[in-house]
Amino acid sequence: MNINLKPISQQVIVITGASSGIGLTTARMAARRGARLVLAARSGEALHQLQEEIVQHGGHAIYVEADVGHEGDVERIAAAAEDEFGGFDTWVNNAGASIYGKLADVPIGDFRKLFETNFWGVVYGSLSALRQLRTRGGAIINLGSVASDSAIPLQGTYSATKHAVKGFTDALRMEVEADRLPISVTLIKPSAIDTPYSQHAKNYLGDEPANPSPLYTPEVVAQTILRCAERPCGEVIVGGVGKLMSLAGRYTPRLRDWIFERAVIPGQRSGVSARDDQHRALEHPTNALRERGDQDRLCLKSSLYTQASFHPVMSGLLILGGTVAITALMRGVGNARHGSYISNPDGSSDLPEHRV
């Protein structure tokens, strides 16, 4: 089945989680390119401001105040698109939240709430879009994460939801292809992105959470989303750092664990005392149009790997290079076992002197 996706300028695009971060950046970028938009989030006030902004610049957008964790709300989004535009061409399941804290410290109720948003929101949105697109064709784009491949300590609940999103999206893609439906099903897996993500996350750490450097700008993800809305693509990792994490998790899981335990866990602690939870997005909408976070971290404005991933030959060369780098690293660790180590305070030695 040939899948013919329209140019962005001719599309109606549904975006959930459109009031903040990646969703907000994608909405603005799509509007500038001429797309008509259906904006969805729990933050009705912020969505109204965004709609007015888009209309003032000559665009066309409507908004639906909705919680994607409720199936009825998701159906209202689809109905609004049908009433206003006669349907839609691309549905972007972007809405999401996170929790920072050791798994043993997170209440089960928060586990369930996060799954309602991050996983069930994707399920409801994907199945609603599938019903609408099975005859007219179009794209379903789901936002996973590098955590879909490689779990992140202190964000174990979030990682579990994104593993579930990957499993659901991969299965949906295969079923759609087997039924020869004219629908592109894409999973996009961003690396750490400079959005208010960590400020909005529920926090069970003693200090404010942070994302380890380097971060990527939300524009890098938005560009990838819109590219996949025009050209069928099964899966894209945004950011070469994320690809290295995925490769390490697949081929050298013990090395990945060693690095994460020593670098990623402390890298997620800001050292700043934790604030109260009144603006945490797990329970409450934020009602503020913010694309970026407030972390003072290295932020990359482009990703050579992501650009190359749309070109098979270039992508293959970069993956080969990453594999060689990981192999060399493993050899270095192996050689270090026969050489010198930096001793721990208790006299043991598990940390190689040769660091990457």
From 63, 100, 124, 158, the catalytic residue: 158
- Unique residue bearing structure tokens 């964000």: 155
Residue 195: name the closest of 265, 284, 289 by CA.
289
The pairing of strands 207-209 and 269-273 is antiparallel
134 vs 277: CA distance, rounded Å: 42
Q: What angle (nearest 5°) sits at the alpha carbon of residue 200, between those of residues 275 and 260?
A: 90
Cα 12 → chain centroid: 22
Mark whether 158 is an active-site residue. Answer: yes
Q: What six digits make up the tokens of 337?
A: 């076992």
- Helical axes 312-336 vs 240-251, angle rounded to 10°: 60
Residue position matching structure tokens 């599938």: 130
Residue 320, class by beta-carbon neighbours within 10 Å (0-12 exposed, 13-18 middle, 19+ buried)? exposed
Spatial distance between the Cα atoms of 113 and 119, rounded to a whole number of angstroms: 10
Catalytically annotated residues: 158
